[in-house]
Structure 1
Amino acid sequence: MTRTVLVASLAALPLAAMALPATAQTLSSGPVVAAGDAVLTLTAEGKTTATPDLALFSAGVTTQARSASAALSDNANKMNHVIAALKKAGIADRDIQTSNLSVNPVYAEQRPDNNGSGPREPAIVGYQATNQVQVKQRRVGEFGKVIDTLVSAGANQISGPQFLLDNPDAATDQARVEAVSKARARAELYAKASGLRVLRVLTISEGGGYNPQPMPVFAMAKAMRADAPSPVAAGELDIAASVTVTYELAPAAN
């Protein structure tokens, strides 16, 4: 949505008598503008779409055992199979990064104390180990197949994907160009409606930018079917950029 602010009051400056005195004032942003000039500040947004070429997701294994060492050892064995499956599916070492490694106690369910002695300290009945990796899938079309491969290899925690652009600069630049073009067109519109003309740009500032889709979350891996590839639709990404531009306006040419 475009927000327009007339910094100089046009009502206080009759167009027929609008002069450009030599005395100048300095705006807070720096440029020097004649005291009688009108200044227009507005914000415009540009958008473009792009097909994602990168899928970011996490995969891991959670195991449980009576001792912390047993839980961690079992987890390590299963996680090695998961990482090996990722590499076999074509994921490079640089695209696999450990994001979580933890071992936590598992407590027995607490029951109400009927003898009035107060609550008992919860008893530890086992330990739970979790190991997760963050994965960049560069062949987006194979994402569903990779997920199914991970489930077969023993992964029981999978979340994602978040679809991204590996290099969003070109798409973001397109959105920036559109934002500047819209700002100029609206400035011309307001100036003409006020009997003025756009003289020059005083300031430009940028807001917004690359805005990928939020990450949806998969169900637990055990709920996925192993007899058919998991359906995944990458869709398109909306890339947005906004600019705030201040223009100097002058009387329309006769």
Structure 2
Amino acid sequence: MRLIALTSLVVLGLAACAPASAPHISPAETRTSSLDVSATGKVSAAPDRATVSAGVVTEGKTAQQAMIANATKMNSVFEELKAAGIPESNIQTSQLSLQPRYNYQDRQTPTIDGYEARNTVTAKSEDLQSVGAMLDALVKAGVNNIGGINFSIDNPDNAMNEARAKAISAAKLKAETMADAAGVKLGKLLNMSEANSSGQPRPMMMQAGFRSDSMESAPTPIASGEQSLEVTVNLSYAIEQ
């Protein structure tokens, strides 16, 4: 009995002297602290291409009459575009439609009293100085519907790269400023991504409308202005402990 009691005391003493188990560290506690910033870089550039949308709307008592009248005027439109130096590869039909015109009478079934034909083309030109004169020539040839003008940059890569570099520089400066204000030190760059970019200029409408054939005046004034290209980037830096 004395031997059993002594053995029990030894076991209890060893258990009391055993070192405590190591604390458990969760993944969240080992995660690197980071500073996330974003910035946008902007660059303005002059457009070098104009895309004009223009067409002819004609009416006739029959569908054939409406289409024949439309085709006659559109042939003149194509000739004017070629005379303006627009290559055929830059001319494309964007809409062709034929619709009946209904005559609505009170409490009677609508009847067709004619047809309307529409034919619209888009033409691209790199000669921005001649766009106004080209529009006037198109109107003279029979165009009676101009949808608008879209100015664009043919190759925006260089401008977009410049905007991208500005965005990264601005994001780095923002991260450094925030770290200094918070009293911490920036570590290595953990992640970098491009949030969005905008390289498609907004449409610009012409400044003047149609002119009568009998009017003698300067060509329709067109202002291409400048286009703004933007790139937004996200940077994530480690914070040194």
TM-score (norm 1): 0.78
Q: Paired residue for 2:62?
A: 67
1:205 Cα deviation after fit: 1.7
Give the secondary-structure state (helix, strand or coil) at the position aligned to 2:197: strand
**Contact (CA 8 Å) 2:204, 2:224: kept in 1 or not?**
no
**Contact (CA 8 Å) 2:66, 2:117: kept in 1 or not?**
yes
Q: Deviations over 1:27-63 (max 9, x none)?
A: xxxxxxx926320112100001000001112011010
Distance in 1 separating the partners of 2:222 and 2:171: 38
Of residues 153, 158, 163 in structure 2, which corresponds to 1:165?
153
Q: Paired residue for 1:9?
A: none
Of residues 109, 114, 121 in structure 2, which corresponds to 1:133?
121
Query: Structure 1: which 5+ residue stretches go unaligned?
Result: 1-22, 27-33, 113-118
Give the secondary-structure state (helix, strand or coil) at the position aligned to 2:220: coil
Note closer, same or farther for the CA distance 1:36–1:68 as it changes in structure 2 (3 Å cut): closer
Q: Paired residue for 2:132?
A: 144
Q: Paired residue for 1:43?
A: 38
Of residues 143, 153, 169 in structure 2, which corresponds to 1:181?
169
Of residues 222, 228, 248 in structure 1, which corresponds to 2:238?
248
1:201 Cα deviation after fit: 1.6
Letter of the 1:97 partner, please give it: Q
Note closer, same or farther for the CA distance 1:101–1:70 as it changes in structure 2 (3 Å cut): same
- How many pairs are equivalent? 215
TM-score (norm 2): 0.82
When the two chains are superposed, the root-mean-square deviation of aligned CA atoms in Å is 2.2
Note closer, same or farther for the CA distance 1:233–1:215 as it changes in structure 2 (3 Å cut): closer
Letter of the 2:192 partner, please give it: I
Distance in 2 separating the partners of 1:226 and 1:100: 32
The answer to whether 1:214 aligns with 2:214 is no
Note closer, same or farther for the CA distance 1:39–1:223 as it changes in structure 2 (3 Å cut): farther
1:172 Cα deviation after fit: 0.8
**Contact (CA 8 Å) 2:102, 2:111: kept in 1 or not?**
yes
* Structure possessing the higher radius of gyration over alpha carbons: 2
Give the secondary-structure state (helix, strand or coil) at the position aligned to 2:67: helix
Of residues 203, 221, 235 in structure 2, which corresponds to 1:231?
221
